[in-house]
Structure 1
Amino acid sequence: MPIKIPDQLPATDILRSENIFVMSAKRAASQEIRPLKVLLLNLMPKKIETETQFLRLLSNSPLQVDVELLRIDNRPTKNTPTEHLDTFYRQFEMVKHRNFDGLIVTGAPLGLVQFEDVLYWEEIQAILTWAKGHVTSTMYVCWAAQAGLKLMYDLPKRTRKEKLSGIYTHRVHNPHHPLLRGFDDTFWAPHSRYADFSPEFLSEHTDLDILATSDQAGVYLAATKDKRNVFVTGHPEYDAHTLHNEYMRDLGEGMEPKIPVNYYQDNDPDKPPVASWRSHGHLLFANWLNYCVYQQTPYDLDHFSEDQFTKDD
């Protein structure tokens, strides 16, 4: 089934060119089903690129998904046209009176910034607190995972000495967990972060189910027992060239970055990268939409209640 997004959104033509079913609002309204209402809080500077990446993963489901885009920072940006933001993005004040089936909070280029120094930290706190009573399941990606752990468990910011960048292999720890259904015992996933998520630290300081880890990258996937909060420390949404673009950007800024590991053919940046994580990324989002959102959410969102959720699978 399709995702429902505005016809004028740049992602629409891109996804249709990839043979992804994108439905117009008029056609969606004629179907006698209730689409899942998913809110995407986009914290990345290149919003068009990021929204397209997440919409691609949300499309791989038999469910109809109605996606709304949310922004948090009203300052002008050099990476996204103001017209695009004004046309397609909502402010939190416009949606906070409503309930949603799902919320995705993207990463942000804030790996070396302390939480209290983030310009919109109070707004992040307000939205994540609001989600407890208005969203069935929230997925936190990369920096957002660190922010979510801070707000839910008061965990301090833990920063690596060197940036983690590349494609890493991960082990599945609970193959029967709904989020991992269909996963191989090991799988590849991209990382691009300074944050440190060690299994030992999260096991000691949280009650999360730790679902997938890497010897090099630490925890990749974890969730609360009621599946209402899912933490993804990497970037399953990344395109094949996203890490390459980040690497070239850092080179251009004189940062002397290390070559992303397990990424380029023969570890040579002059050769094209190999995308080895697409199947896992699509499966993760399909599982989240089905088992954490669709199977848990009320049919009538106006009757949303935290009391409906249990810790049972």
Structure 2
Amino acid sequence: MNAVHPPAGTTDDSGAAPRYRLAVVNLMPQAEIYLDYMERVLPPGTEVRWIRVRDHAYRSSDPDILSATHRYYDESAVDECDALLLTGAAVDIDPDLTAATYWDEIVRTLRDADGRVGSIAGVCWGAQVLGKVFYDIDKEHFPAKVFGVLEMTNEAPGHPLMRGLDDRYWLPHSRYARMEPDGFGKAVADGLLVPLDRCEEAGHTTVVSADGAHLMLQGHQDYPTERLAQEYHSAVEKGRATSLPLNYDPDRPVNRWRANNRAFLAAWLELAATRKRGLAPKPPAGSGASQQP
């Protein structure tokens, strides 16, 4: 997998063209770590275009790695990509989605990418951003953070994204909020959104638009084995009140979600690539909706 941005038309070491091209808007703390996370979970042959945002300081990230591997949205040849993914962010504890310093830039990016790539996904905070930007659904905080590995029920086993998943499967969660139930329920009733799974502790978690253009991943299909342990131990070291993650031992972590998450993300990229082939071209990214502040 290519973590940097190769010129258009380049191939991997085997000489084959990339199977999929994915743009990732990376807002994660220590952004460079996420490169490895995605390489572990994406299908072989996926080329990743890493994107940074201008209005985010990236204080915890390595500036040399960031500058070598990431570009800004309008420099990233997004039109060549099948899909775009917006990561989670450390601002998820704030009840106000729009309080993030980079909110306006993210909204511009998502609206410009919509119809330019085959599908846009958001993870955790990013999922709730998609719900707000495209469906005007607010977020609602839980009484306590949902943290751990939860057993999910596959509610749409016939859907193209879910056919490869078990009837019940495990999914990491590390979130404070969900899409506000009334707004979410209305979007489902209106036929705009399709809930794909649910769990007892957090309700509906993975949601896709009826046309496949938007995918909301409120759990963490992107997390490797050790991530929840790192989050737990970091909180303890900083003296923050935290509970042990559910169904997961941070001292002896075991991965029970890898196969299902790989199958899910592979199915999403295939759906995105199929949709991409049917899209009418848009003006080049940045020509009509500049990402410059």
* TM-score for both structures, normalised by structure 2: 0.85
Q: Report the count of equivalent residues.
A: 275
Q: Distance in 2 between matches of 1:123 and 1:109?
A: 16
Residue 110 of structure 1 aligns to a residue whose secondary structure is coil
Higher helix share: 1
Cα contact 2:138–2:180 (8 A) shared by 1: no
How do residues 9-48 of structure 1 correspond to structure 2 at under 5 angstroms?
Answer: 27=12, 30-31=15-16, 33=17, 35-48=19-32
- Tell me the equivalent position of 1:276: 256
Structure 1, unmatched stretches of 5+, are 8-24, 306-313
- Pairing 1:1-313 to 2, within 5 Å after superposition: 3-6=1-4, 27=12, 30-31=15-16, 33=17, 35-60=19-44, 64-73=45-54, 76-95=57-76, 98-113=79-94, 114-197=96-179, 202-206=184-188, 207-264=192-249, 269=250, 271-290=251-270, 292-298=271-277, 304=281
CA distance in 2, matches of 1:240, 1:68: 24
Distance in 2 between residues matched to 1:96 and 1:66, nearest whole Å: 12
CA deviation profile, 1:93-114 (whole Å, cap 9, x unmatched):
2137735211011111112221
**Cα distance in 1 for residues equivalent to 2:185 and 2:89:** 25
SS at match of 1:272: coil
Q: Distance in 1 between matches of 2:47 and 2:269?
A: 12
1:274–1:198 distance in 2 versus 1, CA, 3 Å:
farther
Question: Taking structure 1 as reference, are residues 173 and 27 closer, same or farther at Cα in structure 2, changes over 3 Å only?
Answer: closer
Counterpart code for 2:106? I
Q: CA deviation at 1:77?
A: 3.5
Give the conservation status (yes or no) of the 8 Å contact 1:199–1:213.
no
Q: Which amino acid aligns with 2:31?
A: K
Alignment CA distance shift 1:278-1:26 (3 Å): closer
Residue identity matched to 2:212: K
Of structures 1 and 2, the one with the larger relative CO (CA 8 A, separation 6+) is: 2
Cα contact 2:25–2:52 (8 A) shared by 1: yes
Compared CA separation, residues 79 and 178, structure 1 to 2 (3 A)? same
Which of 99-108 and 75-84 deviates more? 75-84
**TM-aligned CA distance change 1:46 to 1:97, over 3 Å:** closer
For 1:197 and 1:238, locate their aligned partners in 2 and report how far apart those are by CA, in whole Å: 21
**What's the TM-score, normalizing by structure 1?**
0.80
**Residues 96 and 130 in structure 1, CA contact (< 8 A), matched pair in contact too:** no
Structure 2: state its 5+ residue gaps: 283-293
Structure 1 stretch displaced more, 184-193 or 246-255:
246-255
* Separation (CA, whole Å) in 1 of partners of 2:86 and 2:78: 18
Closer/same/farther in 2, CA of residues 116 and 220 from structure 1, 3 Å limit: closer
State the Cα distance separating 1:123 from its structure 2 match.
0.4
Q: CA RMSD in A?
A: 2.5
Compared with structure 1, are the counterparts of its residues 231 and 55 closer, same or farther at alpha carbon in structure 2 (3 Å cutoff)? same
Q: 1:90 Cα deviation (Å)?
A: 0.4
Q: Please tell me whether the aligned partners of residues 40 and 224 of structure 2 are also in contact (alpha carbons under 8 angstroms).
A: no
Task: Spell out, residue by residue over 1:152-182, the C-alpha distance to the aligned partner (whole angstroms, 9 max, x if none).
Answer: 1111221112111000001111111000012
Of stretches 146-155 and 51-60 in structure 1, the one that deviates more from structure 2 is 51-60
Give the residue type in structure 1 aligned to 2:2: K
User: Residue 236 of structure 1: CA displacement?
Assistant: 1.6
Contact persistence 1:76–1:82 (CA under 8 A): no
